[in-house]
Amino acid sequence: MLRSPRSLFWLASSTLTLGVASSAHAADPCLTAYECSQGSSIRSPNKLKVESTDRLQTAVDTGWVPKCTPPTTDGHCDQPLQFRAQVALDPQGQTPLYTIDMSKGTFIQVSWPTPEAFVVTLQPSTRKDATLNITHTITPEMGLYFNVLSFKFEISLDSTFLLNKLPNASFDYVARGNGSFEPWGFGGAQVNVKGNDLNNSRIIGITLKDLEGITGNDNITRVIDGGLYLNATTNSDFQYKTTLVKVSGGNGSITTQGGQTTYPMVDLDALDLNVSVQGTLSYDGTIDFKPVITITSIAGIGVNLNLPLDFATLAVPYGGKQDVPVSFNAVTYHVPLPNLYVEAQGSFIDFGRQDTGKRVMQQVGMENTGELTAVIKDAYCDDPQFTISSRPGTLGTDENATITVNFRATRAGSHESRCTVVSNDPDSPEQSFDVLGFGVGATLPDDQPGGAGAGGGGGSGGGFNEDAFDDSADVGSCGCRTAPSGGTSAGSLAALALAGVLGLRRRRQR
């Protein structure tokens, strides 16, 4: 409904007073007057943290080395011994291969520029409170090809077989790395993970005698005996990046840092928003191999050779076969809200028959059941014969207060007006009630705003002191504002965001 010219003047004055904050309203409604709140996941049993012990497959395949020109159809040639390796990255023992932790610093901002819907914003942060940790080993799958004297045979060994069947097999390699990044992770996180020096990174050592026993091939050591030793080291880059954040019940997913979605308006003392996060982990780098074959005998004749002598370090670039999807458990973010109830709303107050010029008053009760301080931004009546002479600036949680409504008839006859209380209540920013009165006697001049006879009324009945509450107390980088700590305030928004009961209390039935 239209406000009286007096209340429109108050709004214009408020805009001038707010200055820069008001000019930012179009870009961020939360920067104007108390219409936002910050929520955290501190009450949620889950955290934005994910751990994985799954193997990461790579695209590494050395092929048969030494390479032959031209090779046979099976990749072999006239070489006494060839070696082949494929490699996966596995967790080291019970330690997770990767841990992504965004438990700290992920706050959401909820604003309500209109009573139609909440606007949910991922609050940006410049602090790198999130971490990416990587710990992995290398597990090879190997192939050996022997072409000694008149004996030719090939052996294939996967990593599980090596670990479970060979008593002297061991994977001693471990590489670790960690890094930090800004929470929510849309900017991405990158960690470089380097292993030890190649000469100090022996990942497996087995004897051909062991191979003979577990493969059932009793002819291996009759033809050739010795051992296989494989050194390897990695230099890898791991990248994590969030791809979307979804608020359950919200209108669409958020795909950018500081992005927004809307959430249906509800009448509650606080919001509990279920938030889920998805992302991807990618990895690439280089694996250096150095195979060493020690031959102690050929056809029973003792020798001491490293064959073939031209085995050199193999630097093999690798990448993940595909990006690994990362899903975090849903986390509940608790967001305090103001919830103001004006007792007379939707009804009327009857002042009865009164002599013209005589001032009478009645009290209208209000209560804030919300977990965030309610701010009374304006209170006014359309007809200047009805004025509001006092109102609180703020109501803390579970606080009660009254506004004083005056009737001073200046004309004979029946009079009716609509009075409105304007607050930062999300779903009911304007709560109205009707006032009735009947004047008896001569016609008198109307009350002048702020005049001696006006009793300090507000809206169409006089100006309040707008310094009764402070609109400059920003909380963090959110831009959310709270009432001052004294008087009727319930304390700072930061305290309210972290404290309070777990359950939500619905506003009383109106």
pLDDT per residue, tens digit, the chain (510 aa), is: 333 333 322 222 222 222 222 223 333 434 344 799 999 998 888 899 999 999 888 877 888 887 777 777 777 877 777 888 888 888 888 899 999 999 988 999 999 999 999 999 998 877 899 999 999 988 778 787 877 666 777 777 776 666 565 555 555 678 999 999 999 999 999 999 998 888 777 777 777 777 776 666 666 777 777 777 778 888 999 999 999 999 999 999 999 988 999 999 999 999 999 999 999 999 999 888 887 777 777 766 666 655 544 456 778 888 877 899 999 999 999 999 999 999 999 999 999 999 999 999 999 999 999 999 999 999 999 999 999 999 999 999 999 999 999 999 999 999 999 999 999 999 999 999 999 999 999 999 866 443 333 333 333 333 333 333 333 333 333 445 443 333 333 333 333 333 333 333 334 433
Task: Output the CA–CA distances (angstroms, integers) from residue 401 to 343, 368, 390, 394, in the order listed.
Answer: 11, 9, 11, 9
Comparing CA positions, the residue from 387, 376, 374, 364 lying closest to residue 463 is: 387
93 Cβ neighbours under 8 A, 6+ residues apart: none
| pTM of the complete model | 0.73
What domains appear along the chain, each with residue ranges and CATH number?
A: 5-34+338-498 (2.60.40.10), 52-196+236-278+322-335 (no CATH)
In this predicted structure, what is the pLDDT of residue 312? 63
Query: Sign of the C-alpha dihedral, residues 208, 212, 215, 220?
Result: positive
Distance CA 238, CA 313 (A): 24
Comparing CA positions, the residue from 278, 274, 282 lying closest to residue 244 is: 278
Comparing CA positions, the residue from 2, 26, 25, 22 lying closest to residue 12 is: 22
Give the 3-state secondary structure percentages of the chain, helix then strand then coil, rounded to 5.
10, 50, 40
In this predicted structure, what is the pLDDT of residue 217? 64
Distance CA 44, CA 53 (A): 24
Comparing CA positions, the residue from 484, 502, 500, 501 lying closest to residue 492 is: 484
Amino acid found at 409 = A
Q: Residue 478: exposed, middle, or buried by beta-carbon count in 10 A (0-12, 13-18, 19+)?
A: buried
Q: Residue 110: exposed, middle, or buried by beta-carbon count in 10 A (0-12, 13-18, 19+)?
A: buried
Paired tokens of 178: 């960690």
In this predicted structure, what is the pLDDT of residue 478? 44
In this predicted structure, what is the pLDDT of residue 31? 38
